[in-house]
Amino acid sequence: MILALAAILLLAAPQMAEAQLPEILVERRLAEQLPLAIGDTVHLRALASEGAPLPFRVGGVHERAADPSRISRNEPEVRLQLSDLEALLPDHDRVDRFAVTLDPEADQDSVIAWIESLAYGAAIYPTEALADEASTTFRVISRFHDAIGAVTILASGVFLLCVMLIRVDERRRDMGLLRLMGVSRGTVFRTIVLEAVAIAVAGSIAGAILGTLIAGVVNRYFAGVYDTTLRFATVTPDIIIVAMALGLVLGIGAGVLAALRISRTAPRRLGEGR
């Protein structure tokens, strides 16, 4: 069981045999701050208790699992056996909450009914319900990111279309000469579309590289601020594939619109000034 303690930690009295002391696991950050090593002895006392601190032996150092829901409560932790934890608290046989892990074959509803029959007034929540309740903030953030992504994609498509229209307008005379020399309208159309696709794909690759670099900087900075292994920004292969697919779609769309504008114009008019 994990308990985030605001505790009094003192060097142990040398007269106590270390082999007789209960062991605890100390989080790496706390072990580095004090500092503590395996085999050291500490005294712990819960804030709610007015009794004397109890001695424990450091049995190991652990790294707290990266959990976004706990990043705001970033206090160092120690892990104790349940009986040792109860000895620290002023009230016994009382808990605020506890977690039960079931075998895959176990009937969840039957277990919930059994626990409720043992502890009157207990509120039992499946893991899915707790996760859904605790992730409300993250769902809001996710929707905000989705909105930013949609606006970014729309702006990228408009920007790509503008770039292609400008490039086509700048080469109206060249396109007119090619048409007068016998180059077909379809060839001009395909050339413009392929150019737009190439620009979009190149932009997608550059964006993926830039995004990876920015994600690395963000992760390195916030990992130092919170001293955590949590990754705050990720660029996965799936994201890169989606970006490339969007770039291809936007490139084809922008190329088709720009090519239609130039291919439908008569060759003689292409040579005229804009």
Given this model, what pLDDT does residue 121 score? Answer: 76
Percentage of the chain beyond pLDDT 90 is 3
**pLDDT tens digits for range 19-50:** 588 898 998 888 888 888 898 888 888 876 77
**pLDDT tens digits for range 176-231:** 777 777 777 788 788 888 888 888 888 888 888 998 899 899 989 988 888 888 78
- The lowest-confidence range among 70-74, 82-86, 200-204, 247-251 is 70-74
- DSSP states along 108-126: HHHHHHHHHHHSTT-----
pTM, two decimals, is 0.60
Given this model, what pLDDT does residue 217 score? Answer: 93
Residues contacting residue 212 through CB under 8 Å, at least 6 positions apart: 235
